[in-house]
A and B are shown apart, each in its own frame.
Chain A
Amino acid sequence: MSGSGYCPQTPEQIREMLSVIGVGSIADLFAVIPAELRARSFELPDGMSEFEMLAGMERLAGRDRRNIVPFIGGGSYDHLIPAVVDHLAGRTEFATSYTPYQPECSQGTLQALYEYQTAICRLTGMDASNASLYDGGTALAEAALMALRITGRKKILMDAAVNPFSRQIVRTYLANLAVEIVEVPAVKGQSDRQAFLAALDDETAAIVLQNPNFFGGVDDFSDLAAAARDRGVLSIVAVYPLSLGLLKTPGEMGADLAVGDGQSLGNPLCFGGPSFGFLVVKKEHIRNLPGRIVGETVDKDGRRGFVLTLQAREQHIRRQKATSNICSNQSLCALRGLIFLAALGREGFAELARLNYDKAQYAKGLLGSVRGVLLVTAGPSFNEFTLSLPKDAATVSERLLAVGIAAGIPLGRWYPGMESCLVVTVTEKRTRAEIDTLATRLEEVLWS
């Protein structure tokens, strides 16, 4: 079938082109490949039209079940996405371009990324952002690597209340670098300040904290950041960006580096990706940032324009001396984040955070009053909180799933001793009726 690979050349053109090249056939172009190196197999199915392909993909997607009310988060959140996000980020001038190496014909992407960097700085209260990283977990790993480079030290103190997936990623990234990672156990869903203060020493490169933490608890880490600073230790705070419509920023806490995952800002669940990671820092650390950075400058005629800047940090210039091996970023997802923030705007974004808070507080009050249920995160929380159930949480979760409710994430898998605990997420998309049903069903599962 000719043209099956979106190849436009006609047989006649192919003949002409071969004669320009001076060979007789396409096979001659591959003659440089010795026979013994040729593919031994290529057993793939035959191709098909786009219509058949799409029908097949619909069938496969049909094996997913969507009749479920999600009260689960764990780093991926079911939020509203204004229609303009899909529409504008779907513009193919954004989608089918690449890294803006040639700035004059890439001002669209470059200005958007500069605006993204500005929006993320304003959201987090930090000074400088790169143009995005892969996701929140890898952003945390890159932040840890940055802290090791900046301090020249070899130890990371990491709060066990940080998302377990993120902690696993940090461990993967640091595995070959002779670095000690000390995890500080959380107590009743909260960061253990005494343990942190006791563990801080002159060998420590960074403390790693998360707000709200994996259990949903909201904290102010100003004191820990200050204590760290006194020992020459950097503080890294991971945040849930949507919560920053309401909560104290890492900048206000005095954090040196802040990271997070941008999925909640206009990116669909999509089974966990793509989203984007952000990494924002105090001004003095900008030259240690990994990844692309867009900077403002002027053109030959004095007009404002934007370019990739500080490229001497990067792998395509510095090779093994680069700040990271990262090459691509998650530009299109970062753009979605920017459009999302612009569409909601200053008031709308604060209102959205408030909506999450109010719904979750309502749910927390209701679920916390179910017979036998205790609140582990009885203190301040945002849109997640942890319940302690009178039964095994994994079993309860399974029974609720059977009636179409993903009630929360059982913690036993990551936190031995917390097998009865469930982290419940309530976003603005959950209705009062859904929350009420969850409470009723939970009571039934526990007591009937």
Chain B
Amino acid sequence: MELIFEKSVPGRHGTILPRSDVPRANDLPAGLLRGESAGLPELSELEVVRHFSNLARRNFAVDTNFYPLGSCTMKYNAKAVDEAVRPFAGAHPVLPYLSSGEAFVQGSLGVIHQLSRLLAEITGMQAFSCQPLAGAQGEMAGIMMIAAWHRSHGQQRRFVVVPDSSHGTNPATAAMAGYEVISVPTAPYGDMDLDAFTKTMNNEVAAVMMTCPNTLGLFNPHVEEICAIAHRHGALVYCDGANLNAILGKVRPGDIGFDVMHVNLHKTFGTPHGGGGPGSGPVGVSEQLLPFLPSPRVTQRTDGSYCLVEAGEQSIGRLANFYGNFGVLVRALAYITMLGRHGLVEVSEQAVLNANYVMNRLKGWYDLPFDSTCMHECVFSASRQMKHGVHALDIAKYLIDRGFHPPTVYFPLVVKEAMMIEPTETESRETLDAFIAVMIEAADLAETNPEALFQAPRTMPVSRLDETKAAREINVCCQ
């Protein structure tokens, strides 16, 4: 498909702007002006509409295809949740910084405050800041709060401990906060190796970062013990909440000793993923970390009104232009409000049911490195298919031809040829069965006709793409 720039016709005009109702001002000095106008496309509105409508048709999405991308919780996004944002779209974020300006945004401040309170109850943490703009930024806020907490105790520690199955954001976050990373291996039963962990711990460790349930889709029954060991060494424990969708109403990280956690609103709380974002990653803390939360904070006065408060000296400071990805916060509040207590518990129960169903139906065809009851996702290996030269990637590409978005492949790194399937709670048994049938078909083809898998996909606008060429002959902007 042509680029929008290639469709441009010089002199064609798009959206008509209002006529000016003021006199034309004197021009700025030439030295302050751009040499020529920016090379934007010149198209009619219809041409713009066709272009983007046709681009949209080149995407798989939750609304068009089953999208079991593990670790990403691609659940259906209720349309009412999008509708909820509309009445908030006009709120100007600078108003709270004007004297008496808070009175103009009581509803918007209320969204942030109410959502923070609900997240605290859901996770068992003391308080939340909704400012982090994504999960990775929530992690960064968390590790920075931990660093600030150690500083407040006169300590400057060196290390952050992460399991080798963790999301890449965990070690990358630790590095951004100035820490060295210690990676702990995964034991044969799929949890962080407890002995190795215990030996790793020392008084130079600032934090331990755990994903709960972990990235293999398993709940670690020793998680409380791990928190206790970390605390004995004066370290704090961070919970990566990416997999919260499995444990709503079942487990609250705050109850079992986690000191900080983030939640991904775009995963667990049903907000659209937007082709890569915006997400949102509110961060919650236990009581001892309250003074370190990002600034500003939204609080409620005794008369019920909401206000914005610049946090004190110990706060890690500001993370975002304003108060976070507010539009995403509204959607998450709408989602939680609509589902309520029972609805959220049902989310986790059905997500776990669906994942175990897929796991059990497929384990005759694919290797299951950790064969125990899973939580909301399961991780297979294509190692059996490897004997026929078939990789996880080939199976992924075949799924595309059959109308399914592939699972996450090659993550977690600790599983060879990993295929991580997260069906989510919103998928019907019929969809799961259709997916399972195609996965079985792929396993059969791996033995009987691997070439069919190597050729996939054949039904998309493009066949397999040359990623090496993209990285070697860099072209990220058309001339």
Contact = CB atoms under 8 A, between A and B. Distances in A.
Given A109-B59, A172-B317, A297-B469, A94 B464 contact: no
A347 B106 contact: no
B74 A98 contact: yes
B94 A409 contact: yes
Contact of B322 (A177, A247, A273, A338): A273
B389 interface: no
A97 B429 contact: no
Interface residues of B, number: 203
Nearest to A135: B321
A315 interface: yes
A75 B140 CA distance: 23
Contacts, number: 710
B343 A5 contact: yes
A176 B178 contact: yes
Contact of B338 (A49, A113, A136, A273): A49
Contact of A299 (B37, B42, B181, B466): B466
B440 interface: no
Contacts of A61: 87-88, 107-108
B23 A362 contact: yes
Q: Give the one of B28, B111, B221 with max A CB within 10 A.
A: B28
Given A32-B219, A401-B100, A401-B101, A345 B274 contact: no
A286 B474 contact: yes
A8 to B, nearest CB: 4
B23 to A, nearest CB: 7
B127 to A, nearest CB: 15
B276 A328 contact: yes
> Helix, strand, loop or mixed for chain B's interface?
loop
A6 B334 contact: no
B341 interface: yes
A380 B33 CA distance: 11
Contacts of A50: 78, 80, 83, 338
A190 to B, nearest CB: 13
Given A322-B172, A346-B37, A362-B25, A76 B322 contact: yes
Interface string A268-305: 11111111100000000010000011111111110101
Contacts of A378: none
A197 interface: no
A95 B61 contact: yes
B475 interface: yes
Interface stretch (A85-93, A229-237, A437-445): A85-93
Interface in B7-57: 8, 12-18, 20-26, 28-29, 31-35, 37-43, 45, 48-49, 51-53, 55-57
Interface stretch (B192-200, B282-290, B352-360): B352-360
B361 A20 contact: yes
A384 interface: no
Q: Give the one of A58, A98, A351, A398 with max B CB within 10 A.
A: A98
Interface residues of A, number: 211
Contacts of B22: 358-359, 361-362, 432, 435
A75 B454 CA distance: 50
Contacts of B274: 94-95, 97, 330-333
B42 A39 contact: no
A100 B21 CA distance: 45
Interface in A72-118: 72-76, 78, 80, 82, 84, 87-88, 91-109, 111-115, 117-118
A351 B20 CA distance: 10
A317 B464 CA distance: 21
A268 B89 contact: yes
A98 B405 CA distance: 11
A370 interface: no
A385 interface: no
A198 interface: no
A131 interface: yes
Contacts of B147: 175-176
A446 interface: no
B38 A349 contact: yes
B172 A320 contact: yes
Interface in A153-178: 165-166, 168-169, 171-173, 175-178
Interface stretch (B128-136, B379-387, B442-450): B128-136
24 contacts: A6-B78, A14-B353, A29-B353, A75-B321, A78-B92, A80-B17, A88-B53, A92-B61, A103-B462, A113-B276, A135-B320, A137-B320, A171-B317, A244-B34, A247-B28, A273-B278, A273-B324, A295-B470, A315-B169, A329-B277, A330-B133, A332-B277, A333-B274, A398-B98
Please provide the 10 A-B residue pairs with the shortest distance between their CB atoms, ordered closest to farther: A272-B322, A47-B340, A272-B93, A332-B274, A361-B25, A331-B276, A61-B87, A50-B80, A274-B278, A63-B107
Given A42-B341, A272-B324, 9 more contacts: A6-B76, A64-B91, A98-B273, A106-B59, A114-B3, A172-B144, A252-B35, A326-B136, A397-B99
